[in-house]
Structure 1
């Protein structure tokens, strides 16, 4: 179902930085050595200022998906994001791997995260992005119980917001789509994410892909969405410590220039996009 975008707007575009800092290395990779922590520090102290400067230059309101561990570890840098007026959405406590959690632990961590949002942001988050871009069997129920308005973790569409459904698995007779979830999905894609293509993690991720090729792919996807998905949403995921590298941020700004040179593009937060959904 197309979004009811503001008059004159053809395509919503959201840039959603995952401000993971130390937490991704703790939660996603179990890496706690000084080398990996320094990469998280770069994320906060170098990547975030560079991203904020680009956003300010082009008057972009982004959505920073931020683990609460990051808020507590880098409070001054996190405050600079708030002062710039960007949306803060939920991204777990410490970038935990949600499918590996039992339901009680998942609920406990969500309660902690909501409390930390209230402490550091001053309000509950409206949106959620799974740190692992995956759910457990309990996640939909947990998100509904906390009243989230939207999620941005799933991949059932590429450029259209949609209502996700629970799926009952039956390997012999086919799966069945059951009751819809009471939130709106803003879809993501591994093809629209900088981290897996540009980061090197010994033994895990053998990148790097060249930034020029990646931006070329992003440009192709944006152009397709602009021409063929009116009323849609283009969600790009970046990581300050990745896209903030000098050669990356230069190429990223050129991509932003390509976007803003198209009439009818609405570069905004996902909560603003969510508010245009018409039931």
Structure 2
């Protein structure tokens, strides 16, 4: 592959429009979970399928993590978006059905959580198709939201997602407001609900024997999340959470997440919404202004 390194904005999307959030809210909070389960450990490293202790990190999702997260969402009366790889839905159908039964949104997160690569378009597109097929088979849903497995994307994949019926993405890290991606030929660009890397719990609460990294305790993470949320709220943006049941479903981190979300709920002017709700609000505002 030849790489175009000419100086230019590498994301050609237009600037994010000013947002008026519903019901006089000053900012929005998007609670999103990536239900990777074992795919986090086997998608990009298939040999891990024979390493049961390594994959048991992901096995925590179905055994404990999802159930505890659903209990927390019920306690706080929050509807969240669960970005679910197709493999996870097929392997752990019963527990994934409980996410849907509780009224949460199911999002697309690939099939095997494989990193999409631009020089392997057929494989990248197959991951999308198999993900749709598995979610339809296991849960009877066809998602409208997508979060990139391993956090990567490229123009051809954005175009394929749009043609496949995806309406929004929540993967990019280049704004604090939703925006629309540049058009893909005749297809209108997806709505992007950008992510703040500071709210990815994997950065603070996941390690493994094969790639050791420090773990961060409650006080450090809670202070960081509150400070970042407060600043985003003051700027009128969207605080997008990238959470994983195999991390935030662990005992201490479950309490940490509960404390943070309780803090958010003390603010009377915050709209806590699913990705689909935020994308639909953006689309309505976009239509009204155009």
Q: Which residue of 1 aligns with 2:41?
A: 25
- Measured at CA, do residues 102 and 63 of structure 1 come closer, stay the same or move farther in structure 2, by a change above 3 Å? same
| Equivalent runs, 1:40-51 vs 2, <5 Å | 40-51=58-69
Structure holding more helix per residue: 2
**Matched position secondary structure for 2:180:** coil
Going from structure 1 to structure 2, the CA distance change for 1:190 and 1:68 (only over 3 Å counts) comes to same
CA-CA distance at 1:104 after TM superposition? 1.4
1:75 to partner: Cα distance: 0.8
Q: Is the 8 A contact 2:148 2:171 kept in 1?
A: yes
Give CA-to-partner distance per residue, 1:146-198, whole Å, 9 cap, x none. Answer: 121100111110x21012348xxxxxxxxxxx999611100113211001221
Distance in 2, matches of 1:180 and 1:191, equals 32
Aligned residue in 1 for 2:127: 109
Partner of 2:214: 207
Is contact 1:184-1:274 (8 Å) kept? Answer: yes
Match of 1:266 in 2: 271
The match for 2:70 among 43, 52, 74 is 52
CA distance in 1, matches of 2:211, 2:187: 35
**Judging changes above 3 Å, is the alpha-carbon distance between structure 1 residues 28 and 211 closer, same or farther for their aligned structure 2 residues?**
farther
Gap runs ≥5 in structure 2: 1-16
Residues 160-179 of structure 1 aligned to structure 2 (within 5 Å): 160-165=177-182
Does 2:249 correspond to 1:235? no
Give the length in aligned residue pairs.
266
Out of 151, 166, 178, the residue aligned to residue 133 of structure 1 is 151
Q: Contact 2:66–2:249 (CA<8 Å) still a contact in 1?
A: yes
Shift in Å, 1:4: 3.9
Q: Which structure: greater strand fraction?
A: 1
Aligned equivalents of 1:85 and 1:267: distance in 2? 15
For CA contacts below 8 A with separation 6 or more, give which structure has more relative contact order.
Answer: 1
Q: Match for residue 255 of structure 2?
A: 250
Residue of structure 2 in register with 1:190 after alignment: 197
Instruction: Give the superposition deviation at 1:218.
Output: 0.9
Distance 2:118 2:222 in 1: 33
In 1: Cα distance, 2:98 partner to 2:280 partner: 25
